[in-house]
Chains A and B, each alone.
Chain A
C-alpha cells in the first residue's frame, strides 16, 4: 500500500473548497458594527392644564430600545402608553420604571425622567418586571400613543423626547 502525501491532499482540498465557494483571494473582516442611537423631540415644552393630559403619537423605527425622556414641572404626573393590542386602553405598565402619580419633577433638561418602553404590559398572568434586567427582556418598539397626565393643581410644562437605540 502506498503512502499518501498529506500536504498534497490538504492543498487539493483547499483548492476545491475555494472553487466551491468561488472565493478569489482572502477576505478578512475586522472591527465591529457599532450600535446606533438617535434622540428625537416628540413634544416641545407643551402646556398641559391641571388635571389634563397630552397625547403624543409614537412611531417605531425598528429600534431595539426606546427610552422615553420626560421633563415636567408639576407633580404628581403619570406616564402611559396605549397597549400594543388595543386601540383605546392606556397603561402605565408599558414602561420601566413606571411613572404612576410620580411626585418628582424634572425641570433640568439634561436630567429628564427616563423610562424604557416595554413591548408588553403586565396583566393576564404576566408579571411586571421589577428590575432593569427583567425589563430589558421586554424592551421593544411599536407604534403607539404616549400620554402624559398632569395630576397637579397648576398647568404643567412638558417636554417629551425619545432616545432610540439599535443594538447589533
Chain B
C-alpha cells in the first residue's frame, strides 16, 4: 500500500470518527463500529481491519476499545 493511499484511509477513518453520534447502544465509538462504518462506504478495497488501524493510525483511532 502506498503512503498516499494509507494517508487517504487514515483521513477517511478520522472523518468517520469525528462524525460519531452516541446512542443508547453505542455510547462510545469502538473499533468494530469504526471498521463497520468504513466498510459501509464501499471504499475498503484493501479489506483493512482493526489491527491495521492499531498499526497505522494515530490516537484516538488506534486506542479505540475493541
Contact = CB atoms under 8 A, between A and B. Distances in A.
Interface of A: 41, 43-49, 71, 73, 107-111, 154-157, 159
Given A44-B49, A44-B50, A108-B25, A157 B30 contact: no
Interface residues of B, number: 20
A47 B49 contact: yes
B56 to A, nearest CB: 14
A46 B49 contact: yes
13 contacts: A41-B66, A45-B32, A46-B51, A47-B39, A48-B47, A73-B36, A107-B33, A109-B26, A109-B32, A109-B65, A110-B25, A157-B39, A157-B49
Interface in B30-55: 30-36, 39, 44, 47-51, 53-54
Given A108-B26, A109-B65, A155-B44, A47 B32 contact: no
Contacts of A159: 31-32, 50, 66
A55 B65 CA distance: 22
A148 to B, nearest CB: 13
A22 B43 CA distance: 74
Query: Top 8 closest A-B pairs, CB basis?
Result: A45-B50, A44-B50, A45-B35, A46-B49, A157-B36, A47-B47, A108-B25, A45-B31
Most buried by B among A46, A110, A154: A46
Given A45-B66, A155-B44, A71 B49 contact: no
Contacts of A41: 66
Main SS at interface, chain B: helix
Contact of B47 (A43, A49, A107, A111): A49
A43 B65 CA distance: 13
Interface string B1-35: 00000000000000000000000011000111111
Contacts of B47: 47-49, 155
A45 B49 contact: yes
Nearest to A156: B39
A122 B29 CA distance: 40
